[in-house]
Structures are given as structure tokens and as C-alpha cells.
Amino acid sequence: MVRDDEPIGAAPGPPPGAARDAPLAFPLAGKRVWVAGQRGMVGSALVRRLAGEGCTLIQDRRADLDLRRQADVAAFLAAERPQAVVLAAARVGGIHANATYPADFLYDNLMIEANVVHAAAAVGVEKLLFLGSSCIYPRAAPQPIREDALLTGPLEPTNEPYAIAKIAGIALCQAYRRQHGCDFITAMPTNLFGPGDSFHPENSHVPAALLRRIHAAKEAGAPTVTVWGTGRPRREFLYVDDLADACVFLMTRYSGAAPVNVGTGEDLPIADFAAALCRTVGYTGTLTYDTSRPDGTPRKVLDVSTLTGLGWRAQTSLEEGLRLYYRWFLDHIDRLRT
């Protein structure tokens, strides 16, 4: 249980002697585990990672399961009876998508998290991990951003509806801990890329949008590729399979009320990230910048000392992650998610 006065952004201190080889607080072996959103980039990475944990993965057998519908979610969980849940389902997108569909981003994400968290508590799920986002933090938060920066200032306007929904999800998990004693935890990933990403030409996130554009320019022999914004904002990027590994680590070894940041703790300008993608793809043209497009937050890099204190660090370098990303892109180019 948490104290009534504990703020939702309070960063937990690592337990004495915590390490990666410490005894498991919640072993997943033999458990029935459901990944909500298992067909998305994060969900599919979690399914790959959990395959080695000796647990039974519950499949979304019903193609029409709509997590925004309370009755459907309640019936599904009552029938499947998972012992552990990872809530990776969400409506996601880049700056353009957030600006174009603010009502959808707020409503859909509020409904998904409320229905899954409530139904999980109702059927007695033993452990739940809710995945938020680094966009929950204030636009002007001190960098690197600590967990206790939450609710200390205004949000970035370009993704405020999505951020508000994710903040509500954190508060919801903490409320169920406080009122019902549920072991529901939350993690805040940084910007992600990897297999299963969405490559919509306008609504995708930075890595997918740039990869698709740069690859197309290479194939066409185009002399330039346009990068949205000035290229100056600094961002942190995490390979999605590293996030999946961190999720399993937290599920088995963490049981606190406060959110935990998940990232590399390192950032770089968008211009440098685009240049790294050009090297990966083998594109030798010139990058140009469309400054009519918004930059978003000037800098966003997470303080990951809580997670490293618990004994976890990201293992995939940016260069290796981009190589794996591009190889997957080429292997699936005829059936990419858009």
C-alpha cells in the first residue's frame, strides 16, 4: 500500500542490495500472462520476450475485441483469467496525428486504460504493468527528467491530450493500489523504434517517418530528404526489444507505486538521428529542414537512475538498433503497418 500523501511522480529508491540477479519478487514462470495490444510494436516485442519466461501467453483470439468497450474487456478477462497483464495497448502517433485527432487520443486512451485496469482488479490479476510515455512530463522539465518532475509544470501542447490520458493511467493504477491493494505498477518509456513500427506517411513517429522517407529517396535517387522541423530538438531513442526486456525485469522485480522511467539516458539532435539513419540505409543525399513544421519539446531525455539502480540497463546501441530496424523494414516492406 502507498501513503495517502505520496505524489504520483515520487521516484522510488532502489531496495537495499537490488541487482539483476536478485531473487524474483514475482516470477512469471507458470503464470497466465496477457499482453494488451500484442499486435502493436511494443506488444509484439513483449510477446517475443515473454516466450522465454516459461509463462502461458494469452492470445487475443477475438479479432473484434475492442478495448474501448467495457463489457467486452470485462468478458474477455473473466473468461481468460490472466494472472499478469502488461497494458501496452494505446492509440499512438506523432506530432501531426496528435494535433489532428486530439479527441481520439484522449478518449481512446482513457477508455482502454480504465477498462483494462478495472477489469484486471475485478478478476484478481496478481500483477499489472501499465506503460505510459515520456510525454507525461512538463515541456520545461529539468533535463534529464526525473520521475518526480510529473505534474510540476505545463505539458507540451502538441501532445497534451495523449499525455493527460497517460497521466490518468498512472493515477488509476495508484488508486487501485491504495484502495484495493492491487500490485499495479507503471513504466514510462522514452521514444521507441523497432520491428512492428507504424509507417503511416503523416501520423507515424519520428524514426518510422524518417526511415521510410530516406529509404524512398535512396530507391528513387532523390538528391534531398526533408526532415520536419529544424532538426535541433534533442531526443532519446530506445530499441523496442530493450523496452520489452525492461518490462519483464520490472514485472518480476519491482512493486512500487511510483512510475519508473525506461530509456538509455542519452539523447542527440534530430538532425544527428536522421544522419545516422542515412548511414544505415546507405543514402548519400542531403537533408533539408521544413521549419514550418513544429519542433515539439526542445529537449527530452529521461533520468533512468531509478531503473539502473534496480539493476537494468539498455543493451542495444543506437547503431545496432537502427541496423536491426532497417533489416526488419526491408523484410516486411510489402506489408508494413500504416
Was 131 annotated as part of a binding site? yes
Was 191 annotated as part of a binding site? yes
**Catalytic residue among 107, 137, 162, 325, which?**
162
CB count, 10 Å around CB of 85?
26
Was 213 annotated as part of a binding site? yes
Was 231 annotated as part of a binding site? no
Was 285 annotated as part of a binding site? no
Was 250 annotated as part of a binding site? no
Q: Is 254 a catalytic residue?
A: no
Was 102 annotated as part of a binding site? no
Was 190 annotated as part of a binding site? yes
Was 133 annotated as part of a binding site? yes
SS3 track for the chain: CCCCCCCCCCCCCCCCCCCCCCCCCCCCCCCEEEEECCCCHHHHHHHHHHCCCCCEEECCCCCCCCCCCHHHHHHHHHHHCCCEEEECCCCCCCHHHHHHCHHHHHHHHHHHHHHHHHHHHHCCCCEEEEECCHHHCCCCCCCCECHHHCCCCCCCHHHHHHHHHHHHHHHHHHHHHHHHCCCEEEEEECEEECCCCECCCCCCCHHHHHHHHHHHHHHHCCCEEEEECCCCCEECEEEHHHHHHHHHHHHHHCCCCCCEEECCCCCEEHHHHHHHHHHHHCCCCEEEEECCCCCCCCEECECCHHHHHHCCCCCCCHHHHHHHHHHHHHHCHHHCEC
Give CA–CA dist 67/90, Å, rounded.
Answer: 9
Sign of CA dihedral 184, 261, 88, 42: negative
Was 166 annotated as part of a binding site? yes
Was 293 annotated as part of a binding site? no
Please check whether residue 134 is in contact with residue 189, taking contact to mean a CB–CB distance below 8 angstroms.
yes
Give CA–CA dist 62/276, Å, rounded.
Answer: 40
Was 205 annotated as part of a binding site? yes
Was 228 annotated as part of a binding site? yes
Was 46 annotated as part of a binding site? no
Was 296 annotated as part of a binding site? no
Catalytic residues: 162
Binding-site residues sit at: 37-43, 131-134, 166, 189-192, 205, 213, 228, 235, 295
Which segments are annotated as binding site for NADP(+)?
37-43, 131-134, 166, 189-192, 205
Please report, in range form, the residues annotated as the binding site for substrate.
Answer: 213, 228, 235, 295
